[in-house]
Amino acid sequence: MIPEQLRYTAEHEWIESRGEGVIRVGITDFAQNALGDVVFIQLPEVGARVQAGDVIGEVESTKSVSDVYAPVTGKIQACNDELSESPELVNGDPYRAGWMFDMEIEDSGSLTALLDAGAYAKLTE
């Protein structure tokens, strides 16, 4: 199931608007399924300024290692520190407990360039 209220990237990340120019980012259910059991997550540094498309972290699973990209330009505001002790949260609850980081975005208009649920569903067919 692809949550309707979120935006998505072609790199299988979900983006939730948190209001006041802040977004929350994680990987989709499709991505965690493709990865298999997640065993390690490297998150970006809080306070880091990032450009859309920058590699800012990685997810390591029993099958492979995948990069995590900045979906938009902005500043990392918070990271989900629970993932360092329990990376499997991404597998069990990718859209809630498995969130990765919050960002303060430079341009809220940049969110419109992201995929909506329908377009993401087509991408993953």
**The domain defined by 7-107 carries CATH number 3.30.360.10:** no
pTM, entire model? 0.96
Cα of first residue to Cα of last residue in the chain, in angstroms, is 12
Residue 33 DSSP class? H
What residues does 104 pair with on adjacent strands? 22, 75
Residue 122 parent element (H or E): helix 117-123
19-38 per-position pLDDT tens digit? 889 999 999 999 999 999 99
Give the integer Cα–Cα distance in Å for 31 and 50: 22
Q: Are 14 and 8 in contact (CB under 8 A)?
A: yes
Assess contact for 10 and 27: CB atoms under 8 A.
no
Over the stretch 72-124, which tens digit does the pLDDT of each residue have?
999 999 999 999 999 999 999 999 999 999 999 999 889 999 999 999 999 99
Q: Are the CB atoms for 58 and 44 separated by under 8 Å?
A: no
Q: Give the start-to-end residue ranges of the domains of the chain.
A: 7-107
Two tokens at 46?
Answer: 């809080």
Res 47 pLDDT > 90: yes
**pLDDT confidence tier of residue 16, bands split at 50, 70 and 90:** very high
